[in-house]
Amino acid sequence: MAQHRSSLVAYAEHMLLDRHLAEDVVQEAFIRAWHHAEKLRTGEGSVRNWLLKVTRNLVIDRARSAAVRYESVMEELRDLPEPDHSDEVLASQEALALLRGLSSEHREVLVHVCLYGFTVRETARRLGIPPGTVKSRQHYALNILRRRVGLLPARVPAEAAAG
């Protein structure tokens, strides 16, 4: 039976895509052959065919097992704490709300420059506007956002400042 080892390992490895698992499967096939030695000695059928069939069945059994589907592993992982992403979700919702509050021109410039990482020139070319307009819209949009989050004081109307 040892003469069949390399071909059985190659066969199992082809199905499993893992050399170590293939060797484990072939070892199990040889153990089963040892348990059925009397049947194999009688000459009913080819030993090689029997070993190939057993190897194939072991590979199929392995694919169907709970260990491969991570059922037993997931039971252990169920009690592990998961990271809390609520702060990131809340921050992204707040950022979207702030962006929605901008005019479409201001929002478009900020998305291109801040989120996509385009330069002022690239943004100007993509939007079909002069680079100075991109800079101006970016400046005013950022000031609007800073005021809304409290980083800049609110504007004082000209009449109130004069009085």
Per domain, the residue ranges of the chain are 2-77, 86-155
Share of the chain above pLDDT 70, in %: 79
Residue 159 pLDDT exceeds 80: no
DSSP code, position 111: I
Residue 155 pLDDT exceeds 80: no
The model's pLDDT over 2-41, given as tens digits with 9 standing for 90+, comes to: 777 888 888 888 888 889 988 999 999 888 888 877 766 6
Contact 9, 23 (CB under 8 A): yes
The more confident residue out of 142 and 69 is 142
- 3 state DSSP class of 116: coil
CATH class, 86-155 region: mainly alpha
Contact 99, 91 (CB under 8 A): no
Separation between Cα atoms, residue 70 and residue 57, nearest integer Å: 20
For residue 127, what pLDDT is reported?
A: 95
CA dist list (Å): 163 to 153, 155, 158? 19, 15, 9
For residue 88, what pLDDT is reported?
A: 86
For residue 163, what pLDDT is reported?
A: 47
Residue 160 pLDDT exceeds 70: no
Q: Of 9-13, 63-67, 137-141, 144-148, which one has max mean pLDDT?
A: 137-141
The model's pLDDT over 62-118, given as tens digits with 9 standing for 90+, comes to: 888 756 666 555 555 566 677 777 888 888 888 888 989 999 999 999 999 988 999
The more confident residue out of 5 and 44 is 5
CATH class, 2-77 region: mainly alpha
